[in-house]
Structure 1
Amino acid sequence: MTQPDRAPSDSAPDLTPFTEQGKRDLAVLVALESVSAQGRMLPETADAVTRLLEAEGFTVQRFPGQVAPILLAEAGEGPRTLLIYNHYDVQPETPSELWNTPPFVLTEANGRLYGRGASDDKGELVSRLAAVRAVKARHGGTLPLKIKWLIEGEEEVGSPSLAGFVAEHTADLQADGCWWEFGSVSEDGRPVVSLGLKGIVCLELRCAVADSDLHSSLGAVIDNPLYRLSRAIASMRDDSGRVSIPGFYDSVRPPSGADLKALESLPDARPPLQESYGVRGFLGNADAHEVSRRSNFEPALNVNGFHGGYGDAGSKTVLPASGFAKIDFRLVPDQDPAEVVRLLRAHLDAQGLSDVEIVELESHEHAARSDVAHPFVQTALAAARESYGQEPIIHPSAGGSGPMHSFIEHLGVACVAMGIGNVGGRVHAPNENIRVEDFASGVKFGVAFLEALSRE
Structure 2
Amino acid sequence: MEIRKQYIELLRELIAIPSVSAKEAYLPEAAHLIADAFRGLGADVIYDDTYFAPFVLATFQSKVPNAKQLVIYNHYDVQPAEPLDLWATDAWTLTEKNGKLYGRGVDDDKGNLTARLSAIAEYLTEHNNQLPINITFIVEGSEETSSRHLDDYLAKHHHHLSADLVIWESGGKNVNEEIEIFGGNKGIVTFDMTAKTANNDLHSSLSAIVDSASLRLSQAIASLFDHHGNIAVPHFYDDIAIPNAREKQLVAALPLTRDSLITQHGIKVPLYTDRNGDDLKETLYFKPTINIEGIQSGYNSAGVKTVLPATATAKAEARLVPNMDPDVTLQRIKDHLQEQGLSDIVVTKTLGQPGYRSDMSDSEILRVIDITAHYYKAQPIVIPTSPGTGPMFYIHEALQAPIASLGIGYSHALDHAPNENIRLTDYNQHIDVIKELIRSYEL
What's the TM-score once normalised by structure 2's chain length?
0.95
Of 42, 61, 69 in structure 1, the residue corresponding to residue 27 of structure 2 is 42
1:455 aligns with 2:442: yes
The CA RMSD over aligned residues, in Å, is 1.8
Task: Give 1:278 deviation, angstroms.
Answer: 2.5
Distance 1:143 1:101 in 2: 39
1:442 aligns with 2:434: no
1:126 aligns with 2:111: no
The DSSP-based 3-state class of the residue aligned with 1:422 is: coil
Amino acid at match of 1:119: D
Of 281, 289, 309 in structure 2, the residue corresponding to residue 300 of structure 1 is 289
Q: Deviations over 1:298-320 (max 9, x none)?
A: 11111100111000001100011
Task: Give 1:268 deviation, angstroms.
Answer: 1.5
1:75 aligns with 2:60: yes
Aligned to 2:392: 404
Aligned to 2:356: 368
Aligned to 1:230: 218
Amino acid at match of 1:219: S
Task: Give 1:47 deviation, angstroms.
Answer: 1.1
Task: Give 1:160 deviation, angstroms.
Answer: 1.2
Distance 2:290 2:428 in 1: 37
Aligned to 2:41: 56
Distance 2:108 2:345 in 1: 35
Counting aligned pairs with the same residue, the percent is 35
Aligned to 1:261: 249
Distance 2:264 2:51 in 1: 36
In the superposition, relative to structure 1, how do residues 233 and 183 fare at CA in structure 2: closer, same or farther (>3 Å)?
same
1:324 aligns with 2:309: no
Amino acid at match of 2:30: T
Aligned to 1:23: 8
1:337 aligns with 2:337: no
Can you give the 5+ residue segments of structure 2 that lack an aligned partner in the other structure? none
Amino acid at match of 1:332: V
Between 1:275-284 and 1:129-138, the stretch displaced more is 275-284
Task: Give 1:283 deviation, angstroms.
Answer: 2.5
Task: Give 1:390 deviation, angstroms.
Answer: 1.2
Q: Is the CA contact 2:99–2:424 (under 8 Å) kept in the aligned structure 1?
A: yes
Of 32, 53, 59 in structure 1, the residue corresponding to residue 17 of structure 2 is 32
Distance 1:99 1:275 in 2: 23
In the superposition, relative to structure 1, how do residues 287 and 224 fare at CA in structure 2: closer, same or farther (>3 Å)?
closer
Amino acid at match of 1:316: K
Q: Is the CA contact 2:192–2:313 (under 8 Å) kept in the aligned structure 1?
A: yes
Distance 2:368 2:405 in 1: 9
In the superposition, relative to structure 1, how do residues 287 and 130 fare at CA in structure 2: closer, same or farther (>3 Å)?
farther
Distance 1:223 1:287 in 2: 32
Distance 1:279 1:76 in 2: 50
Alignment size in residue pairs: 439
Amino acid at match of 2:314: A
The DSSP-based 3-state class of the residue aligned with 1:431 is: coil
Task: Give 1:66 deviation, angstroms.
Answer: 2.7
Please list, as runs of the form range in 1=range in 2, the aligned pairs for 1:139-218 lying within 5 A after superposition: 139-218=127-206
Amino acid at match of 1:354: S
Between 1:412-421 and 1:133-142, the stretch displaced more is 133-142
Distance 1:327 1:81 in 2: 39
Distance 2:140 2:277 in 1: 36
Q: Is the CA contact 2:73–2:169 (under 8 Å) kept in the aligned structure 1?
A: yes
Q: Is the CA contact 2:326–2:353 (under 8 Å) kept in the aligned structure 1?
A: yes
Q: Deviations over 1:148-196 (max 9, x none)?
A: 1110111111111111222332221111111111111123432111100
Q: Deviations over 1:244-287 (max 9, x none)?
A: 10100111111011101112331125566545543335333389
In the superposition, relative to structure 1, how do residues 232 and 44 fare at CA in structure 2: closer, same or farther (>3 Å)?
same
Aligned to 2:301: 312
The DSSP-based 3-state class of the residue aligned with 2:387 is: coil
1:108 aligns with 2:96: yes
Distance 1:124 1:68 in 2: 19
1:346 aligns with 2:325: no
Task: Give 1:327 deviation, angstroms.
Answer: 0.7
Amino acid at match of 1:211: N
Distance 2:166 2:50 in 1: 21
Can you give the 5+ residue segments of structure 1 that lack an aligned partner in the other structure? 1-15
Q: Is the CA contact 2:324–2:354 (under 8 Å) kept in the aligned structure 1?
A: yes
Aligned to 2:377: 389
Please list, as runs of the form range in 1=range in 2, the aligned pairs for 1:269-308 lying within 5 A after superposition: 270=258, 273-274=261-262, 276-281=264-269, 282-285=271-274, 290-308=279-297
